[in-house]
């Protein structure tokens, strides 16, 4: 990530960009109109919403820092092999927890996204066991984290995002038999896999 990675992409490359997930570099050009006039920009098209166009100015280190290369197939396999080692959250307070969840999501890091999915599922199970209503904010975070995580894994493995839960389940078969593994594999009740 960071400025070196942000300038090494070329037209036709695929990358991961912030909360938009996997994007194709459609162009690198100087904008002639609007707020970005005179600035050279990466023109990105999210693969799951090709009608959307994103402009990332080369001069903006902050925005370029959100661009990173996609995981390799080997890195995806290592991520899947390490799912059982995912940690919980560091903050015990609700406010700290919310900030930590938002930071994990915003990081765009696949391991952080998988960790977020695990934490939110554990919380959902805890609430269910104590007959508490589900947390809607957590549900939205969970849906977004799954969309980003499944989107990148699907692109790297050459499968559709809805096939990712099965690929995770196949990879985990026999190694994890707990509800958390089921959540990561998309086999939980009540939440559709992205």
Q: What would the pLDDT profile of 95-149 be if each residue is shown by its tens digit?
A: 777 888 889 999 989 999 988 888 887 788 888 899 998 788 888 998 999 999 9
Task: Return the structure tokens found at 162.
Answer: 């809805």
Residue with tokens 């920009």: 41
| 8 A C-beta contact, residue 79 and residue 67 | no
pLDDT value for 9: 96
pLDDT value for 159: 93
**What is the average pLDDT value for the chain, to the nearest integer?**
84
By three-state DSSP, how is residue 21 classified? strand
By three-state DSSP, how is residue 42 classified? strand
What domains can be seen in the chain, in order of their start residue? Answer: 3-69 (2.40.10), 73-184 (1.20.58.1290)
Q: What would the pLDDT profile of 152-163 be if each residue is shown by its tens digit?
A: 999 999 999 999
In this predicted structure, the answer to whether residue 63 has a pLDDT above a threshold of 50 is yes
Q: How far apart are CA 9 and CA 7, in angstroms?
A: 6
């Amino acid at each position: 990530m960071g400025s070196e990675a942000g300038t090494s992409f070329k037209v036709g490359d695929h990358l991961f960009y912030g909360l938009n997930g996997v994007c194709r570099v459609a162009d690198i050009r100087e904008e002639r109109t609007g707020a970005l006039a005179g600035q050279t920009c990466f023109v990105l098209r999210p693969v799951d919403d090709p009608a959307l166009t994103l402009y990332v100015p080369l001069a903006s280190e902050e925005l370029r820092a959100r661009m990173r290369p996609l995981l390799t197939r080997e890195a995806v396999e290592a991520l899947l092999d390490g799912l059982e080692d995912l940690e919980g959250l560091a903050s015990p307070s609700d406010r700290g927890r919310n900030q930590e969840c938002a930071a994990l999501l915003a990081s765009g890091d696949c391991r952080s996204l998988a960790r977020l999915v695990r934490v939110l599922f554990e919380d959902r199970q805890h609430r269910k066991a104590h007959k508490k209503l589900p947390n809607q904010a957590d549900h939205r975070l969970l849906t977004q984290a799954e969309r980003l995580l499944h989107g990148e894994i699907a692109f790297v493995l050459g499968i559709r995002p809805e096939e990712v839960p099965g690929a995770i389940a196949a990879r985990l078969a026999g190694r994890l038999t707990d509800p958390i593994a089921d959540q990561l594999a998309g086999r939980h009740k009540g939440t559709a896999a992205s």
